[in-house]
Chain A
Amino acid sequence: QKEVEQNSGPLSVPEGAIASLNCTYSDRGSQSFFWYRQYSGKSPELIMFIYSNGDKEDGRFTAQLNKASQYVSLLIRDSQPSDSATYLCAVNTGSNYKLTFGKGTLLTVNP
């Protein structure tokens, strides 16, 4: 069973702080990694993807990938109350590029 593990939280940070979200995966053959944001009652929306070791930055978001440790993270700088949501880590594996999701981490940014 290929698994994706996330700390379910909730993770609470003050406005303006850095939020750090973590994810580990079990399948060493995993090829690409995605972070989705899901607001309560809404569907997931893609915010970042990464497939090479190292860091990838997009505005206030930075994704970090370490394939040797089977670890991927998402940093949110200058957190805003509008960032309050559940963040889902998803891993793409296999020849059909099936996505396996973690349970998600609930982030709350306090004004």
Chain B
Amino acid sequence: EAGVAQSPRYKIIEKRQSVAFWCNPISGHATLYWYQQILGQGPKLLIQFQNNGVVDDSQLPKDRFSAERLKGVDSTLKIQPAKLEDSAVYLCASSLMLGKSYNEQFFGPGTRLTVL
């Protein structure tokens, strides 16, 4: 079974530029998550989708971050314009379903973003 795919793996941009990340979850997984992991910290949930609907985006900086999952499968996360503090690893994860207290999330390899 293929895992969660993400691209690109690395991205270097200058502040105020825009950037987009792509994620393809495990086949059949209804729930998709985007996390931001700053060096030395745990992952922080940015947005959670159930199929193509947003379940939780309470920690997404909506003035600069946006995300979509139009067909309920793959997803893109965009930052526009980027700030220095956006330098982090962006992790995508997926899980089979919502509504179960045990609901293992499988993580992709991440995209390491450096903002100069």
List A residues at the B interface (Cβ < 8 Å): 4, 8, 31-32, 42-46, 49, 51, 88, 90, 92, 96-104
Choose, from B12-20, B60-68, B74-82, B100-108, the stretch at the interface: B100-108
List 7 A-B pairs, minimum CB-CB distance, nearest first.
Answer: A101-B42, A43-B107, A32-B101, A31-B101, A96-B55, A101-B43, A103-B42
| Count of chain B residues near A, Cβ 8 A | 24
CA distance in complex: A90, B41 (Å): 12
Q: Does B25 contact A (CB under 8 A)?
A: no
Tell me which residues across on chain A come within 8 A of B45, comparing CB atoms: 98-100
Residue A104 contacts which of B42, B100, B110 (CB distance < 8 angstroms)? B42
CA distance in complex: A103, B104 (Å): 19
Tell me which residues across on chain B come within 8 A of A4, comparing CB atoms: 42
Given A98-B45, A98-B56, A101-B43, CB of A92 within 8 Å of CB of B101: yes
- A92→B103 contact, CB < 8 A: yes
Q: Is the interface of B mostly helix, strand, loop or mixed?
A: loop
Tell me which residues across on chain A come within 8 A of B56, comparing CB atoms: 96, 98
- B98→A44 contact, CB < 8 A: no
| B 85-116 binary contact with A (CB < 8 Å = 1; else 0) | 00000010000001111111111111000000
List B residues at the A interface (Cβ < 8 Å): 33, 40-45, 48, 55-56, 91, 98-110
CA distance in complex: A99, B98 (Å): 12
- B44→A101 contact, CB < 8 A: yes
Given A43-B91, A96-B48, A96-B55, CB of A103 within 8 Å of CB of B101: no
Q: How far is the CB of B21 from chain A (nearest CB, A)?
A: 14
Q: How far is the CB of A32 from chain B (nearest CB, A)?
A: 5
CA distance in complex: A92, B31 (Å): 15
- B110→A43 contact, CB < 8 A: yes
Q: How far is the CB of B6 from chain A (nearest CB, A)?
A: 9
Tell me which residues across on chain B come within 8 A of A32, comparing CB atoms: 101-102
CA distance in complex: A96, B101 (Å): 9
19 more CB-based (< 8 A) A-B contacts, given A46-B105, A98-B45, A104-B41 = A31-B101, A32-B101, A42-B109, A43-B108, A44-B107, A46-B106, A49-B102, A51-B102, A90-B42, A92-B103, A97-B98, A97-B101, A97-B103, A99-B33, A99-B45, A101-B42, A101-B43, A101-B44, A103-B42
